[in-house]
Chains A and B, each alone.
Chain A
Amino acid sequence: MDEHLITGGDQEQLVERAFHLYFEGLHRYAFTILKDNDEAKDAVQSVFLKLWEKRAGLDEQQSVKSYLYTAVYHYCLNIKRHEKVKDSYISASSNVTGVQEHALVSKETYQQILQHIEALSPQCRIIFCKSRFDGMKYAEIAAEMGLSVKTVEVQMGKALRILREKLSEFLVTLIIFYLL
C-alpha cells in the first residue's frame, strides 16, 4: 500500500502525499473515538506534525499508514483520558438527550429507529443501548452483564445488521426527501 509513498524520495512530498491519501480515513477514525469533529481534526493535524518531525527517520520498511493510524489512536485515547478527569461524563450525557445537531433525518425517522431498537432481542437491545446511548466501552458492558467481550462484539454486529436491513429503505426515502 505504501510503497509508492516512499519511493518519491522527497520527505516533504511523502508527508503531503500521506495527507492526501489518509486524511479522510484518519479523521473518521478519530471521530469514532472522540465523537467531536473539531477534536478529530486536531488529532489528525497533530499526527501529521509528528510525522513531519519523524520524516527523516522513516525508512522503506515502515508503513506510514499504520504509523498514522496508531498515532491517531494513542492521541485520541490520551484526549479521552484527560476529558474523563475534567468532566466525567458531562459531554457523554449531553449526547443522549436526543437533540439532533444535524437535522438530516426527522423526528419521525428517529422514532422509527428507536422502534426498531425496541424490537431487537433483549440481550441484543441492552448491549446496543449501553454502547450507543450510554457510551459504555465493550469491556464495561461485558463486565456488567457477565459476558465475554466477544459476545458483546457479536451482539453489536447483529444489532447493526438487523437495524440496517429493517431501516435502509425508510432512511433512504427520507434522506432523499431532505436533499430535494
Chain B
Amino acid sequence: MNKSEHIPYELLGKYFSGEASPEEAIAVEDWIAAAPEHRRLFEQTAGLWENAAGGQQHTLPDKAAVWQEIRRQLPGAAPLKTAAVRPGNRRLMAAAILLLICGASLYFLLYRTSAPAADWVSRQTTAGIFRDTLPDHSLAVINSHSAISYEKGLAGRNRLIRLKGQAWFDVTFNPGKPFIVEVGDIAVKVLGTAFNIQQKDSTIEVAVLNGSVAMMNSRNRLTVTAGQQGIYHAASGTFELVNAFNSNKMGYATRVFNFENTSLKDIAAQLEKAYGVTIRIADKKLENCAMSSSFENKPLDYIFEVISVTLNVQCRVEKDSVYINGEGCN
C-alpha cells in the first residue's frame, strides 16, 4: 500500500498550487488514471491540501448539466443525443482508506461462542428483492433467492445477521455494537459502512462501497476497504483481496449503474431488479443495442429518456411496466 516512492509529490505540489503547465496537468491526470491506487493517493493528498486552509474545495459540477449548457450555446447543433452523469464521488474516494478494526479476531471468537438461540426474525426472498430496515436503522437489501435472519430487535451484544445468498447492507455507525454478518463458515464484521455480500458455490465475495469491513474465519482475517473486493475461497479457507469491483453488481440495491458498452438486454435486466419493473423489448434486434452511461440513483423516467435518445428507441413507462420499441441502433 505504501508505494510512496511512486507518488510524484513535486508534480502534485505544482498542480495543487496552480503552477502546473498544461503538459504537467495532463501528466497528473495520466498518473491518476494509471491505477486505482493512484486515484486514492491523489484524493488523499488533495484532501490534505484543501483542508490545510479554508476556501473552496474542488467539487465536480454535474456533468450532464454542463454539457447541456454547452449545447445550448452551440450554433446549429443537433438535438440532445446522450447524457452521462458521473458526479464527483470525492466522499467515496476519501473513504477508500483503511479504518483499522482492532481486535477483530477477538470479536470473532467472542461472538462465535455467544451467538444466542433466542427469538429470531427471518426474511426470505424468491424472485424479487426485499428492502428491509433493520431495528438499528441499518438498511438491508436482500437479492432474489436469498435469506437473512437476526435476533429480534438486534438485542444482543453484537448486531448479528445470518445470511444465505446475496445482500447489500448500509450499516448505521455504532462502534460500541459491531455489525457482524455470518455467511457460510466466515464472518464479516463492520463498524459502519456500505457493502455487498454474495455467496456463491465455492466463494463468498464481499464488495465494499465505503468504509471498511473485516472478513474472518477461525484462522485468517482480511480487511477490505472502499473500492475493494474480498473473496473467500471455501475449499482452501483462504482470502483474496481484489482492488476493483463492478459496481453494477450492487445496482439492485444502490441504483448506481455504470454501463460500459452494455447491451439493452443486460441493462434492462439490471433495471428491472433495481426498480421493480418489468421491461418489455418489442424487437429481439433491439436487445443487442449497446450503450455506455452512468446513472446514480436517477428516476426511472430519466434513465429511459437517456436510453431512448442514445439508442434511438421509444420508451413508454406505464406503472410497473416499460415498453421499448423503435428502429434502434445502427
Contact = CB atoms under 8 A, between A and B. Distances in A.
A99 B59 CA distance: 17
Contacts of A159: 13
Given A32-B15, A156-B10, A175-B97, A96 B52 contact: no
B213 to A, nearest CB: 12
Tier of interface size on chain B: 35 or more
B134 interface: no
A29 B25 contact: yes
B22 A70 contact: yes
A180 interface: yes
A113 B192 contact: no
Contact of B82 (A16, A29, A175): A16
Contacts of B17: 32, 131-132, 138, 156
B53 A176 contact: no
A94 B53 CA distance: 11
Given A132-B49, A168-B97, A172-B99, A49 B173 contact: no
B99 A35 contact: no
A154 B10 CA distance: 6
B136 interface: no
Contacts of B14: 138, 153, 156
A179 B99 contact: no
A73 B84 CA distance: 25
Contacts of A160: 9, 12-13, 16, 45, 48-49
Contact of A156 (B13, B52, B63): B13
Contacts of B330: none
B314 to A, nearest CB: 22
Nearest to A76: B18
A70 B23 CA distance: 8
Nearest to A168: B44
A66 B58 contact: no
A153 to B, nearest CB: 5
A65 B26 contact: yes
A24 B74 contact: no
B137 to A, nearest CB: 12
Interface residues of A, number: 73
Contact of B56 (A36, A131, A164): A36
Contacts of B211: 176, 179-180
Nearest to B74: A52
Interface in A108-122: 109-110, 113-114, 117
A102 B66 contact: no
Contact of A113 (B11, B19, B52): B52
Given A45-B69, A131-B17, A161-B4, A171 B26 contact: no
Interface in A93-139: 94-102, 104-105, 109-110, 113-114, 117, 131-133, 137-138
A66 B23 contact: yes
Contact of A180 (B22, B56, B192): B192
Contacts of B23: 66, 69
B284 to A, nearest CB: 28
21 contacts: A24-B86, A25-B29, A32-B18, A35-B55, A37-B58, A37-B61, A49-B74, A69-B26, A72-B22, A102-B56, A110-B51, A161-B4, A171-B51, A171-B97, A172-B94, A175-B94, A176-B212, A177-B173, A179-B210, A179-B211, A180-B173
The 4 A-B residue pairs with the shortest CB-CB distance, nearest first, are A157-B10, A156-B13, A180-B173, A95-B55
